[in-house]
Amino acid sequence: MQFAIEMGPGALVLVLLAAVVFGLVAQLVDNGQTVFGWMVDSFAFAIGAIVASEMITALRAVGPVWDGLAMLPAVFGGFVVGVVVELAYRLIGGGSHRSLHGPMSA
């Protein structure tokens, strides 16, 4: 068994753009309390999307495929891995990044 990524350069750019959008949305939901949180989430989304697109081949027959990228598995895999990493990032950071001991608290 040989593992080969069959995505073209256009699909890779699409995955990276979707990953950055996911990371920025996660940063907005998180109120931007951490500087690099969006990058962690973006990286997780990209890895999840690429792995799911290449490994879940059963959905290639029913879902759209563009430039070697299976769209449905990529979106699902990226979202699941991105959310799991975001939740783990929050838990490691002590729950929500919103602090009660910030400069505005009395």
Q: 27 near 38, Cβ under 8 Å?
A: yes
pTM of the model: 0.79
Can you point out the beta strands (E) in 1-106?
65-66, 69-70
Q: Model confidence over 43-68: pLDDT tens digits?
A: 999 999 998 888 877 666 777 888 88
User: What distances in angstroms separate CA 81 from CA 43, 45, 52, 90, one per listed residue?
Assistant: 10, 6, 10, 14
Q: Model confidence over 32-45: pLDDT tens digits?
A: 567 778 899 999 99
